[in-house]
Amino acid sequence: MYNETTVTLQGRVGGDVMLRQAGGTPVANFRVACTPRRKDRETGDWVDGPTQWYSVSAWRWLAEHCAASLHRGDAVIVHGRVDMRTYINKAGVETLDVHIDAATVGHDLSRGTSTFHRPPSVEVTPPQGEVAAA
């Protein structure tokens, strides 16, 4: 995992979080919209730049937590590995998809409040020959 590009996004969930199984492993997929804002020097007004869309995948417990916690329009921060993929869309046009394999996802608390709920403890059995930490 050396020399992989990581990014941190600040944006809004653009649709429903889709939770599915991939080879028996939970994966959540959703899109994040990031719209930069800047102040126009001439008018003094705030103006929106073009919205940039990112596809996000979260795996295992993170997938289940995203599916249970995130809703369309929620302000989020996503950190993870970036991968760019090209594909041919329905109109026959080659399109670039910027994909984030999420390591962490959370609500953006500069945009609102959130309540944290810790999942029930899961007893972890150490691999053979190792002793569980107390």
Tens digits of per-residue pLDDT, 2-18? Answer: 678 899 999 999 999 99
Tens digits of per-residue pLDDT, 109-131? Answer: 989 888 888 877 656 566 666 65
Residue 134 binned pLDDT confidence (cut-offs 50, 70, 90): low
Q: What domains lie within the chain, and their CATH numbers? A: 6-107 (2.40.50.140)
Residues 6+ apart with CB under 8 A from 39: 45, 46, 47
Tell me, rounded to whole angstroms, the distance of Cα 72 from its chain centroid: 13
Tell me the sheet residues that pair with 52. Answer: 34
What percent helix, strand, coil does the chain show, rounded to 5?
5, 50, 45
